[in-house]
Amino acid sequence: MFVNRENELSALEERYRSDKAELLIVYGRRRVGKTTLLLEFLRRHGGIYLLARETSEFENLGRFSKRLAEYFKDEFLLLNPFRSWDAFFEYLSARAKERLVVVIDEFPYLVKANPSLPSILQEYWDLKLSKTRIFLIICGSSISMMERLLGYKNPLYGRRTGQMKITSLDFFNARKFLPRYSIEDFVKAYGILGGTPAYLLQFDDNFGIEENLRRYFRPDSFLYGDAMFIFREEVNEPRNYFAIMEAIARGKNTLGEIMNETGLERAKVGKYLSVLIDLDFVKREIPITKSWKSRKGRYYIKDNYFAFWFRYVSPNADLIESWRGEELVEVVLEDLDNYLGYVFEDVAMQLLKCLNEKNKLPFKFLRIGRWWYRGEEIDIVALNEREKKALFVEVKWKEVNNAKRILRDLERKADMVGLKGWEKYYGLVGKVVKGKDELKGNGYSVWDLRDFKGCFS
């Protein structure tokens, strides 16, 4: 199933049409859809897909030789496979007189077997490949290693012609995987699975959330086992990382709270959080009116799949391993609305970004985020500094019957943000908002789940 990725495909198409030598680095976490994207591009334009394995250099060179021999119908290469990367790149240089797309997937496995490979590629790119019409795409799932390839000290620095980080799908595009669900049920599914295609494909929208959770909470389930697999691929000693992720999943979002929850000292927590941010597992947020240097940062798990897994699955692995997942289903369903509060804030923020692009807000905002100060919080603040306009929005994952009181309190909190002289607007997002038309008539912006339909493409 190929969904969305219009921006990524458009960027690939543009580079393809350049007809110049291209060296593109494509990376992103496992299951996010990198390979599917690249195979779709190859389907449209032709080319060679080479998948590295975690095996010896000799074995990978032999497999690549066979694949190239089949593509070019080269009997000699079939009988005389490459014995070195020099021979491999020499062959590509000779064959790339016409436009040739070559995708090398899971490139980190090749570097692991031969750490000098980036240097070899650098030499051939400088001397030969850059003078051909090759479109070479290097792809990998190890965030840490792929970002090292982009680093200043790496031999490929300055040689790549572009890079593309593939991220998970947003709420509105992820919806295409489970179209039979109501929007409310899809919010729940999105909170459990996030926007990663491989995880969305594990749910069956012919069945409700409860039945899909029963299938999830089994020791043989892909959804149960994959978080552990991905973490162990990225970090050497996952124990302390797990403790921090579980603390954040339980709502311990400040550095002090995480220290108290895990018992780890400040320096260690800071170091582990830095690694988790670099690996795209965790994000740091600051109040929208503060500098990024602010000490008021809060930490959140970036992907809903991992947020759900560390909140409910990891602490209850004993139930799942003993085939008692049914008991965990009951626990999760009782607490799910509490968990979905933050998820729905993120979904509401995506809604506002969509409406912003469609010019359906009181003004065009340039920045969006959250605000908090001494126990007071505003779920969403959207700003246009040039025009000095601000939109303040409360988000409620419930049926809202007391909207006027919520909006009056929002106005009180907005006065604390300190945007003196700015033009201010106020809004509310809920599951269902009673009296929505009257509120709009009084100048408020109000949305509920019925309004989400306009952002589904």
Q: What is the pLDDT of residues 387-417, one digit of tens each?
A: 999 999 999 999 999 999 999 999 999 999 9
Angle formed at CA 171 by CA 398 and CA 364, multiple of 5 degrees: 90
For domain 171-339, give the CATH number.
1.10.10.10
Q: Which residues of 299-337 are buried (b: 16+ CB within 10 A; e: fewer)?
A: bebbbbbbbbbbbbbbebeebbeeeebeebbeebeeebe
Amino acid at 437: D
Residue 275 predicted with pLDDT over 70? yes
What's the whole-number mean pLDDT along residues 221-247? Answer: 91
Strands (E), 112-233: 134-140, 162-165
- Residue 72: both structure tokens together: 């070019």
Q: What is the pLDDT of residues 336-366, one digit of tens each?
A: 999 999 999 999 999 999 999 999 999 999 9
Domain boundaries, the chain: 6-165, 171-339, 361-455
Predicted pLDDT of residue 447: 97
Angle formed at CA 43 by CA 38 and CA 49, multiple of 5 degrees: 55
Residue 68 predicted with pLDDT over 70? yes
- Residue 276: both structure tokens together: 């988790």
Predicted pLDDT of residue 2: 60
Reduce the DSSP state of residue 398 to 3 states and report it.
strand
Cβ proximity of 276 and 282 under 8 Å: yes
Rounded to whole angstroms, how far apart are CA atoms 235 and 233? 6
Residue 424 β-bridge partners:
390
Rounded to whole angstroms, how far apart are CA atoms 429 and 406? 11
- Radius of gyration of the chain, Cα coordinates, nearest whole angstrom: 25
- Reported as a pLDDT band with limits 50, 70 and 90, residue 243 is very high
Higher pLDDT: 418 or 57? It is: 57
What's the whole-number mean pLDDT along residues 278-294? Answer: 90
Other beta carbons within 10 Å of 413: 16
Q: Judging by DSSP bridges, how do beta strands 423-433 and 445-448 pair with one another? A: parallel
For the domain made up of 6-165, give the CATH fold: Rossmann fold (3.40.50)
For domain 361-455, give the CATH number.
3.40.1350.10
Return the minimum-mean-pLDDT range out of 9-23, 229-243, 258-272: 229-243
Higher pLDDT: 434 or 238? It is: 434
Residue 138 β-bridge partners:
25, 104
- Reported as a pLDDT band with limits 50, 70 and 90, residue 256 is very high
State the sign of the Cα–Cα–Cα–Cα dihedral 351, 356, 358, 362.
positive
SS3 content of the chain, % helix, strand, coil (to 5): 55, 15, 30
